[in-house]
């Protein structure tokens, strides 16, 4: 999932450099959403491991 966030970030950067503002904004928004989903799932995974050991 983090890989997809990175891919959309790279697409956003390339689109911004080439002057495609709308595509860059869309790709950046998708990258942010995927990153936050990844972060939440990662934290939940760490917490579940912590509570399984205790």
Write the pLDDT tens digit of every residue in 3-35: 888 888 899 999 989 998 898 899 999 999 999
Q: Is the pLDDT of residue 54 over 90?
A: no
Tokens of 4: 């997809």
Angle at 24 between CA 22 and CA 29, to 5 degrees: 95
pTM of the model: 0.74
* pLDDT tier for residue 48 given thresholds of 50, 70 and 90: very high
Q: Is the pLDDT of residue 1 over 80?
A: no
Average pLDDT over residues 27-48: 93
The domain ranges of the chain are 2-49
């Amino acid at each position: 999932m983090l890989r997809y966030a990175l891919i959309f970030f790279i697409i956003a950067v390339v689109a911004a450099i080439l002057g495609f503002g709308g595509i860059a904004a869309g790709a950046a928004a998708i990258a942010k959403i995927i990153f936050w989903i990844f972060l939440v799932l990662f934290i939940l995974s760490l917490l579940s491991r912590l509570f399984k050991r205790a």
